[in-house]
Amino acid sequence: MSLSTIEHTAPPSAEHNVPQRRTIPTFAYWAISVLGAAAGICYLGQVLHTPQVMMHLMDLGVYQIAGNRVVDGVSVYDTPLLGHTRGVWEFVYTPFAALLFVPLVDLHGELYTYVGAFGNFAMLTGSVWAALSMLGYRRDRRLVLLGPPIAGLLMWCEPVRETMAFGQINILLLLLVLADMALPDSSRWKGVLTGIAAGIKLTPAFFVIYLLVTRRYRAAVTAIGACAATVLIGFAALPKDSLTYWSGAFVDPTRVGVPENPRNESLRGLLARTIGVDGAHQLLWLVAASAIAAVCLLLARRLSLTGRELPAVVLCGLTTTAVSPYSWVHHWVWLAPLLVYLADLALRRGGVAAPLGLLVALAAASGGLIAVLDPTVVSIFDYPSGNHLTVFFHNGYVWLTLALFGAAAVWLRRSVPTGRDSYARRDGVNGAKAGMSVIE
C-alpha cells in the first residue's frame, strides 16, 4: 500500500498500539521454552550455591527498614536507613513509595526470600507479556506459557540479575510502564500506571512527556493526575516527610553518592570519571542530557507514529536511565525489553543487520554472563580497572543507548520519508496494515 493510500485510511486520531495479532511459531515456541528452562535452572542452581551473592536482597532489606520507620513514626529522610554515612543507604524514593514498603514489615525468614525472588521473577514475566503484546502477538495460552522461559533467559541480563540479587524495585517500575503503554489509546485507564510509577520514583515521569509529544493528551493528563494523587496520599499519611522530600531532598545529589562512582552507569557518571562535573563540566552534563532527551523524544515520536511502539518506549526507558544524575547498573532493566524486541526482529527479518544488532546488545548486557565462569562475580564492575577499555565497558550502557539513537535515525531515514510518518498512525485493522506496509 502506498503512502498516499495511508493518508486516506489512517486518520490523525488513530491508535498507536499494534492491533494486528500474530501467533508465535511452533518451532520458536519450543526452542525458547527449552532454552529458557535450561537458563532458569542454571540460574537457580547458582542461587542455591552462592545465595550471599546471587540473592542477598540487601535493598529489599532497606525497603523493609523504611516500612518499619513509617509504622514507628520515624522519618525516612532525616538519617540513612543503615549506618550513619551520608550518601550511603539513604532513602531516595518518594513518601508514597515508603508507604508501599509497609507490607514488607511482616516478612521474615524464608517467606521474605521467596517474596523477594519470586516476586521480581513474576513481574519480569509480566513485563515480557506486555512487550510481546506490544509486538502484536496474540494474547493466547502460548504467549502466557512462553513468558516464564523468556524471563528465564533474561535472568542472564546483568541489570536483571543485579535487580534480583538486591531485591530492587526496578522491575516493578518497568512492568507498570510497559503494561500501561500496552493498553489501547482508547482506554480511559491509560496513563494511570505510568503516573503511579512516577509517584514511586521520578524518572518514569519522562513517559508523560512522551505521551504528550505523541499527542496522547488524555493519557498524559491521566498520568499527571495519578502521580498527583500519589503525592497527596504521601502528604496525608506522611506530612513531615513529604515536606522534606518535595522541598528539596528529591534533587539533593548527595543523598545518592559521589557521581564518579564506577557503578554510576549514567552520562553524569561517565563525565565525572572522565573530566569531572564541577563548574563548566556540570553545565556540559546538563546541556548534553537535555540534548539526548530531546533527540530521544524526536526519534520515539516517529517510531511510535510508524507502528513501532515497543522500541519507542524502550528508547525512552533507556534514555531516562542514561540522563539520570545517578544510575546504578540495576537501573538499566530496560535492556530486557530491548533484547526481546531485537530477538523478535532477528527472527522475523532476514539479512545481517537485525541479528548483528541483537549480538551487540547481548554483548553490552553480558556482565551477567561472567557468572557462568565465576559464580562469585555478577558484574564486569567487580573486576579491577586499569586499562583503556575500562572507559568503554564501564560506560557500556550509555554507549549502547547512543548507538541505538543512530540505528533508529538511520532506519527511519531509509524507511519513512520525513514529514510523512504521521500518516501511519493506526486505526483498527486497516490502519495497522497501512502502517505495517510502511515499516516492514
Q: Stretch 365-376: mean pLDDT, rounded?
A: 56
* Residue 59 near residue 167, CB atoms below 8 Å: yes
Q: Is the pLDDT score of 137 beyond 60?
A: yes
CA dist 135 and 385 (Å) reads: 40
138-168 tens-digit pLDDT: 999 999 999 999 999 999 899 999 999 999 9
Q: Stretch 407-426: mean pLDDT, rounded?
A: 67
What is the model's pLDDT at position 428?
Answer: 34
Q: Stretch 64-80: mean pLDDT, rounded?
A: 96
What burial class does residue 141 get, using C-beta atoms within 10 Å of its C-beta: 0-12 exposed, 13-18 middle, 19+ buried? exposed
pTM of the model: 0.88
Q: Is the pLDDT score of 302 beyond 80?
A: yes
pLDDT confidence bin for 86, thresholds 50/70/90: confident
Q: Which of 268, 285, 382, 264 is nearest to 328 (CA)?
A: 264
25-70 tens-digit pLDDT: 899 999 999 999 999 999 999 899 999 889 999 999 999 999 999 9
What is the model's pLDDT at position 286?
Answer: 93
What is the model's pLDDT at position 440?
Answer: 35
Q: Which of 84, 127, 241, 107 is nearest to 167 (CA)?
A: 107
Q: Is the pLDDT score of 103 beyond 50?
A: yes
230-266 tens-digit pLDDT: 999 999 999 999 999 999 888 887 788 888 887 888 9
Q: Is the pLDDT score of 96 beyond 70?
A: yes
Q: Stretch 413-418: mean pLDDT, rounded?
A: 71
Q: Which of 224, 238, 156, 159 is nearest to 196 (CA)?
A: 224
Compute the residue count for the chain: 440
What is the model's pLDDT at position 253?
Answer: 74
pLDDT confidence bin for 423, thresholds 50/70/90: very low
